[in-house]
Amino acid sequence: MLSKIRELTKPKIIYKGLGLILIPAVFNAFWLILLKDSSDRAFGLTQRMKTQSALLQCLHQSYLQFGIGMTDLTSYALAGRPRFRTQAENHFRQTLVILDQIDQLTAGDATMQDWIKQAKASLTEELDIVIKVQVPRMHDDMSDSHFYELVARMRNLDRFHQIAGHVRDNFIEMIDQKQKLTDTLREDEFALQARLKHLADIGIALNMLFAIVLAVVFIRDITGRLDVLVDNTRRLPRLQPLNEPIGGNDELSSLDATMHAAFDQLKEATEYRKSLMEMMAHDLRTPLAACQISIEMLDTIDGAKLSPMGQKQLHSIKVNVSRQLNLIKELLLLESLESGTMELDVQMADLAKVAQNAIDTVQALATAKDISLVNAITASGIEGVPCDPERISQVFTNYLSNAIKLSPRNATIKIRARLEQISQDDADEPDDTADDAGENTERDGDGREWLVVSVEDEGPGFGHNEGARLFQKFYQAKEGKKAGGTGLGLAICKLIVESHGGRVGAENIVRHDMGAKSVVGARFWFALKI
């Protein structure tokens, strides 16, 4: 049960993405329903407004027709002209027609239906009176008897006037009612339109706010845990302790759990490798060292008694034992560097003296090939550099040993130093087209000053695709394989310099001659922060 609750509270990324889409969609659907309801009500009000406007117009027209009919009837009563009676009859009939239209417009209104029936009945009665009444035509020479007769006949229209007055009052009352209702509907319509606009504005604002809040929550959840994972990926190769598990039940938490499991396995493998190296140091180096001592004693005491073939074999055994001891030493050093267990004795060192000590170490190899070693650091004006002199001297020794192996006889190897701004790209992708004589191609700096130390030889250089691989373990360029070696020297140099927070690189020295380019050597460099 608890696991299901956790799964609901910490869903997978795909479900979070769906939620990011569906939650605003549901909210928008609800808001659209509200808007549609208000819109339907507004449409209904509009239709009622149209009906009421048409009804009010018909009422006005019927009242106008009724009034004109009354006027014509009065004219007929006074003048006795049949034309006025015919006109009055037509207007009353037209009033009935308009009342039929009103009847259709108010088919569902019982009150209006009763009113229309009464109005029609009254108008029908009036129409009968108009049809039956006969008024003599008045003449200019009408006698008094004729006049009194006319007055008597007009008195017969009293019933008509009573009905007409009642109809007129009903018309006026109904027009007033419908006018008030129309005004009320118009006010309701304006209020509903304002409500629709208000709802639309609130919906847009809430929708944007809702979307922003969901996006911020989603992004913060993902990016925050991604930052932890990215930091763990940096820590994992260095075997630094990983961050606490990020939790959750999604893909990121699964990746984090896998990374922690990989860290545990890597740590276990590192411990196993360390114990293996310690075993090798004890079980291999100790007997080899004993063999080396025995060979030295044999060479010193009885070496002269051996035949030339025996002396040659003894020398070969001596060289191979020494090579194996050196390989074990390099592997142990490589292990301590990779595991981060080697402690550096950092101090302000004179780099010129450190380089000179390395030159003194390999001088015999250089002399054997008549190679000149030039220490140009003394002319650079650079004094104290924070580093471990012993380890940096080892870097110099490895660089110089490789340069001596690959340079021809009577060559010159130079050690240079300069202050420079270098970027990460320069460390990762060495330039194969550098100029000769120690001149360096321009590099885009990262705003930080570095001390760049280089060893320049006059060897064959290396292939275009080999530069980035020279500092890998056990990798040797084609010319390096011919010169012999273990393939660990440059890898150790890289780890030593990186343990100082520095960088390494290599590039061919290219000479331009009559438009043609030719490789005239190689430059191996390392950079330390000042």
pLDDT of residue 303: 64
pLDDT digits (tens, 9 = 90+) for 318-362: 777 777 777 777 777 777 776 666 778 889 888 889 999 999 988
Maximal C-alpha separation, the chain: 190
pLDDT digits (tens, 9 = 90+) for 446-468: 556 788 999 999 888 887 777 77
Q: Are residues 310 and 366 in the same domain?
A: no
Q: Are residues 170 and 319 in the same domain?
A: no
- Calculate Rg over the CA atoms of the chain: 56
Residue 288 predicted with pLDDT over 60: yes
pLDDT digits (tens, 9 = 90+) for 20-62: 677 777 777 877 787 788 777 777 777 877 887 888 888 888 8
pLDDT of residue 423: 58
Final residue in a domain of this structure, among 293, 322, 339: 339
Q: Are residues 313 and 173 in the same domain?
A: no
Residue 96 predicted with pLDDT over 80: yes
Question: Residue written as tokens 């509200």?
Answer: 34
pLDDT of residue 428: 44
**11-28 burial by CB neighbour count: b if 16+ within 10 A, else e?**
bbeeebeeebeeebeebb
pLDDT of residue 150: 55
Q: Give the C-alpha separation, 246 to 227, whole Å.
A: 10
Classify residue 228: in a domain, yes or no: no
pLDDT of residue 453: 92
Q: Are residues 302 and 394 in the same domain?
A: no
CATH of the domain at 514: 3.30.565.10
Q: Residue 373: pLDDT band by 50, 70, 90 thresholds?
A: very high
> Comparing 280 with 86, which gets the higher pLDDT?
86
Mean pLDDT taken over the chain: 76
Residue 436 predicted with pLDDT over 50: no
287 vs 280, 324, 460, 462, CA distance in Å? 11, 11, 39, 38
Q: Give the C-alpha separation, 225 to 246, whole Å.
A: 6
Final residue in a domain of this structure, among 299, 320, 339: 339
pLDDT of residue 431: 43
Dihedral (Cα; 243, 248, 254, 255), 10-degree rounding: -40
Query: How many structural domains are present in the chain?
Result: 3
pLDDT of residue 434: 40
pLDDT digits (tens, 9 = 90+) for 97-111: 888 888 888 887 788
CATH of the domain at 261: 1.10.287
Q: Are residues 280 and 323 in the same domain?
A: yes
Classify residue 244: in a domain, yes or no: no
Nearest CA-CA partner of 384 in 438, 451, 448, 447:
451
Strands (DSSP E) along 220-346, which ranges? Answer: none
Q: Residue 443: pLDDT band by 50, 70, 90 thresholds?
A: very low
Q: Kindly report which listed range (76-85, 213-222, 243-252, 427-436) carries the lowest average pLDDT score.
A: 427-436
Q: Are residues 387 and 483 in the same domain?
A: yes
Q: Are residues 31 and 72 in the same domain?
A: yes
Asked if 52 and 182 touch (Cβ cutoff 8 Å), the reply is yes
> What's the average model confidence in pLDDT over 1-16?
57
pLDDT of residue 92: 81
> Comparing 524 with 283, which gets the higher pLDDT?
524
> What's the average model confidence in pLDDT over 197-207?
80
Asked if 102 and 116 touch (Cβ cutoff 8 Å), the reply is yes
Final residue in a domain of this structure, among 339, 366, 389: 339
> Comparing 288 with 95, which gets the higher pLDDT?
95
Q: Is the dihedral of CA 349, 353, 355, 359 positive or negative?
A: negative
pLDDT digits (tens, 9 = 90+) for 226-263: 888 888 888 887 777 888 887 777 777 888 888 888 88
Q: Is 361 exposed, middle or buried (0-12, 13-18, 19+ CB in 10 A)?
A: middle
pLDDT digits (tens, 9 = 90+) for 468-488: 788 887 777 666 565 556 678
Classify residue 235: in a domain, yes or no: no
Q: Residue 374: pLDDT band by 50, 70, 90 thresholds?
A: very high
**Which contiguous run of DSSP H or E holds residue 508?**
strand 503-513
Q: Are residues 429 and 476 in the same domain?
A: yes
Q: Which DSSP symbol is given to 285?
A: I
pLDDT of residue 445: 46
**Measured distance between the N- and C-terminal CA atoms of the chain, rounded to whole angstroms:** 60
Q: Which domain holds residue 149?
A: 2-213
Q: Are residues 69 and 183 in the same domain?
A: yes
**Which contiguous run of DSSP H or E holds residue 352?**
helix 351-368
Classify residue 390: in a domain, yes or no: yes
Classify residue 243: in a domain, yes or no: no
Dihedral (Cα; 210, 216, 222, 225), 10-degree rounding: -140
pLDDT of residue 207: 78
pLDDT of residue 272: 77
Q: Are residues 433 and 292 in the same domain?
A: no
Q: Kindly report which listed range (3-12, 70-79, 301-310, 417-426) carries the lowest average pLDDT score.
A: 3-12
Q: Are residues 80 and 150 in the same domain?
A: yes
**Any long-range contacts for 25-33 (C-beta under 8 Å, 24+ apart)?**
27/206, 27/207, 27/210, 28/203, 28/207, 31/199, 31/203, 31/206, 31/207
174 vs 58, 101, 111, 179, CA distance in Å? 11, 15, 11, 8
pLDDT of residue 482: 58
pLDDT of residue 69: 80
Residue 95 predicted with pLDDT over 90: no
CB neighbourhood size of 507 (10 A): 23
Q: Are residues 160 and 299 in the same domain?
A: no
> What's the average model confidence in pLDDT over 76-87?
76
DSSP sequence for 384-415: EEEE-HHHHHHHHHHHHHHHHHHSPTT-EEEE
Classify residue 522: in a domain, yes or no: yes
Classify residue 434: in a domain, yes or no: yes
Residue 115 predicted with pLDDT over 80: yes
Classify residue 6: in a domain, yes or no: yes
